[in-house]
Structure formats: structure tokens, C-alpha cells
Amino acid sequence: MNELSQSLALGLASSIGSLLVPLLLVVFAVAAFLKVCIYYQARRQMHFMSGLETHVHRHIDGMAPYTPGKGDFHQLVHSVLHRTYTDSEIWRPRMIYNRKEDAEIKLLSAVFMTDRGVRELMSDTLKQVRYYNNTGRSSDWDRTSNYILASNPYFNKLFGRLSVTSTNRFLGSLPSIFIVVGILGTFLGIVMGLPALATLDPKDVVAAQAVLGDFLNSMAVAMNSSVFGILLSVLFNILNATLSVNATMVKSRDKLSQSLSLLWQEAHAPDDRRKERAELAEKDRHMIESSAPGRELEEDFGSQHRAA
């Protein structure tokens, strides 16, 4: 029974040990590809939210005002969303690439379903807004934004198949798995090298040196798997820190929540308050445009030079 278990262990160690490092490299390459794809999809969602935030502030500052009826929160959000979609998803790519539809944008949109995701996001936002517009009550916009983003079937599914949350959670635990698998490879190498020591004959110095040399070579190969495991773990930790999907999703939620909150206040603000805010925004804009950096120093220096 002992001989059978030993032979099985040796067979398993020899078959797995030789494939372990290539397997680690393949898993790392696939995981890195998935991480980049998930991050790109999250960034596309945040790109739209950034555009929405920009248009909301432009409206509040009076640079691109929309004129819905007083208290018509739904119409105001609809107008801002439509303008954001037009600028972010249609006109800007055409302006950048100077043609109606760039092949790369069309391919990426088809693979990641970003256009469908944006349309679904707009639809879900307007559904929620319609409810609060009818009731006339404000909302916990953080919770509403969480629901809107979490219920989107396109931005939460990679290639329409893989759950973004589950896949990203697995990718976050992958560095630890790399280390464990690397250490496992080292132990498998030791298991493969130990039986050779049983044939060691202390009386035959030449044969003993050959056996010990083979054993040390086996240990060196076994240690490679641990080295690769630690190296890949460090590299993937850097990748996880650089391409932070969770932080990007939180930014998207905050931008949507802040935008809806500002539009709600704007839709229910009195007319005189809107006018006062527009005048203040115009004054701020004039002050910023007229006060270039270093202008005061230049004027002081010029007056002193003239006086001298």
C-alpha cells in the first residue's frame, strides 16, 4: 500500500510539476486581460457620469441652461441626459476621428455593449426620477444611484456573460492563489527529488556526489515555481492597485448621486433664487477670466518700473 501511494504521489508530482510554471503564466495573462476589460468597462460608465456632471454644472452656472417647467424634475433630468448622451457618445467620437463612425469605436461598443449600457442607464434613471417627480418628495440619492448602477445588465456583465462583481472579486484574490500554487510546486519538486536519496551509497563517493547533484538540481527547479508565484503575485497586486475597478464604480455612483441632487434642488428652486444664482455664477466667471495668474505682480512691477 505504501509503495502504491508513493508511486501515485511521484506520478502526480512529475505530471503537475512540469506544467505548473506555464500554467501560472497562462492564468496570469488571462486574468490580466480580464482585469483590463473590466476596468475599461467601468471607465466607460464613469466617462458618461463625468459628462453628466459637467452638463449639470453648466446648467447651474447658466452656460447651457435648460428651461423645463417649474418643479418639472423629470423633464430637466431628461434634457440633461439627452444632451450628455449626444455629446459623449455621438458627437465627440465623430469630432475626434473626423468621420461618422470609427471602426474601433464600433467594435469596442459591440464587444463591451457600452452604448446599450448607457441607454439602459438613462432609462433606469428616468424611471426613478419619474417616481419622485410624481410624489414631489426628495430621495436618498446615494441609494437611488446604487440601485440604478447595480441593476444595469450591460455594465455589470463583461461581454454580456461574466458577472463584473464576481470576476473582479476573484481577480482580487488571485495574488494569494499565485503564492499558494508556487509553494505547492516547490513541495512537489521536493517529493520528486527525495526518492533519489534512498539510493545514496556513502561508500561510493562518486555515485553519492551524482545523486546529491541531481537532488540539488531538482530543488533548484522546484524553487522556480515559488519564485514565479511570488513575482506574479506582486505584479498582479500592482495591476489591481493601478486599475481599481471598485474606486471607479464609487466615483460613478458619487457623480450620479450629486448630479441628481443638484438637479432636484434646481427644479424646485424659486425663480428669484435661480436668477440670483445665475448672476453670481456670471460674476464668478468674469472674475476668473479677468484674473490671469501673475497679472497683479506684472501690474505692480510695471508701475514701479514707470515710477523709477
Q: pLDDT by residue (tens digit) across 58-102?
A: 887 766 555 554 557 888 888 889 888 888 765 455 444 445 455
Residue 300 counted as domain residue: no
Q: Is 226 left (phi over 0), alpha (psi -120 to 50) or beta?
A: alpha
pTM value is 0.74
Residue 294 counted as domain residue: no
Residue 89 counted as domain residue: yes
Report pLDDT for 281: 56
Q: Which of the residues in the chain have pLDDT under 70? A: 1-18, 62-71, 89-108, 110, 133-139, 193-208, 210-211, 214, 217-218, 220-221, 269-308
Residue 198 counted as domain residue: yes
Report pLDDT for 10: 54
Give the residue numbers spanning the domain of 211.
2-269
Residue 288 counted as domain residue: no
Report pLDDT for 168: 92
Residue 232 counted as domain residue: yes
Report pLDDT for 289: 59
Report pLDDT for 86: 84
Residue 208 counted as domain residue: yes
Residue 301 counted as domain residue: no
Number of domain units in the chain: 1
